[in-house]
Structure 1
C-alpha cells in the first residue's frame, strides 16, 4: 500500500468534506482534489462512507480524547481545566483551521458523531461538571453549568468560524489572527473565572 497516495486521498477528503459536507461530496470530487484516478480512491477506501468514517474518526479523536482526559482529571482545579482545554483547542485549531467548519456542517446535517458512544458521558458527566454542580449546590454558581461549557466552546471556536469574514474584510490582517489567538489563550481563562464568581 502506498502511504503517500493514501495520505493524499485523506487530505483531499478532509478538504472536500469540509467545503461540501458529506451529502454533497462525490468520490470524484475527492479524486479531483487529490489529482488521482477515481479508481484509486475506491481501491484504498472502498466507498465514500468508509472514507468519511475515517476522516470523522480522526477529527473526533483530535477534538475529544485529550479534552476528556483533562475534564476528568481529579487532580486539576476548575481553573486549570479551563486553561488546559482552551490551550489544547487553540493549538489544535491553529493547526487544523477547517475543523470547526467541518464539524458545524456535519452537526447541521444531523451527525451525532461527536457525542457518540461514551463521549457524551465523558464530557457532560465529567469531573469538570461535578465540580460545577457542586459550586451550584453551594450557591457559588448562579447559572446552569452547561452555560459555562457552551461559553468555553464559543470563546474558542467562534473566532475560527469568523476568521474568513474578518480577513476578507481586512478587519484582521494576514498574520494577525494567530497573534489574536495567542492573546485569547490567556484571556479565556480570565473571562471564565469571572463567570465562576
Structure 2
C-alpha cells in the first residue's frame, strides 16, 4: 500500500477516535466542564493531536453537534414525509426521536441556542428548511387549519412541539445544580414526557 494512502487511513482513524471520545466526554461532563485534555485522555492520544485536528474545544463541539444535526434531520425527515402515518402518530414519533437524541446529546440545546444567537443558519442550511416546512406533515397541519379543525398556525404547533421537548433540557443544569431534581429523576421525567407531549399537542388539534 502506498505510504500516502496509509497516512490518510491513519489520519481518518485518529480523527474518528477524537470525535468518539469527545461525544463521550461532552455527554458525561457537559460542554462547559470539559477540557481538551479530558478528550485527549479519553481518546488515549497526545493533547497536541486534538488541537491539530480541531484547533479548539469549540470547533470540536461544533463538529460533533453538526453530525448530531445531520442524523436527527435524516431521521425526522422520514417521519415528516411518511404518508402512512396520521398527524398524531407523526407527533408521537417526533417526540420520541427528539427525546432520544437529547438524552444522548444533552448539550445540543446549548449548541442550538448559541448558534441561533450567533447569527448562524446551520440548523436550517441546505434543504433542511424545505424538509420541514414543505413536508407532508406540515401540509397536513395547513389543511387542518384551512378546514377549521386546528385554530393555530402550523408553525405555532411546530414551535410548541419543539419547546415541550427542548426546554426541559435547557433547564436541566439549573434544576440539578439546585437539587430540584436528580439526574435519574430527570431521565424518568423525560420518559414520562414521551406520553405527555403527544397528549398536549393533540389538545391543540381539537
Q: TM-score, normalised by structure 2?
A: 0.79
Instruction: Report the alpha carbon displacement of residue 78 of structure 1 after superposing the two structures with TM.
Output: 0.2
The count of corresponding residues between Structure 1 and Structure 2 is 187
**Which of residues 87, 90, 99 in structure 1 aligns to 2:96?**
87
After superposition, give the CA deviation of every residue in 1:5-46 in whole Å (9 maximum; x if it has no partner). 43453244884xx747xxxxxxxx646742554542365x37
The question of 1:97 aligning with 2:106 is answered: yes
The question of 1:167 aligning with 2:176 is answered: yes
The question of 1:34 aligning with 2:43 is answered: no
Structure 2 unmatched ranges of 5 or more:
1-9
Residue 132 of structure 1 corresponds to which residue in structure 2? 141
Task: Flag the 1:82–1:7 CA change in 2: closer, same or farther, 3 A.
Answer: same
Runs of 4+ in 1 over 6 A off after TM superposition: none
Structure 1 unmatched ranges of 5 or more:
21-28
Distance 2:54 2:36 in 1: 13
Residue 146 of structure 1 corresponds to which residue in structure 2? 155
Distance 1:125 1:147 in 2: 15
Distance 1:112 1:193 in 2: 30
Matches within 5 A, 1:12-91: 12=22, 15=26, 19=31, 30=36, 33-35=39-41, 37=46, 39-41=48-50, 43=52, 45=53, 54-91=63-100
Task: Flag the 1:138–1:101 CA change in 2: closer, same or farther, 3 A.
Answer: same
**Which of residues 113, 116, 119 in structure 1 aligns to 2:125?**
116
Q: TM-score, normalised by structure 1?
A: 0.82
Tell me how large the CA RMSD over aligned residues is.
2.7
Instruction: Report the alpha carbon displacement of residue 62 of structure 1 after superposing the two structures with TM.
Output: 2.5
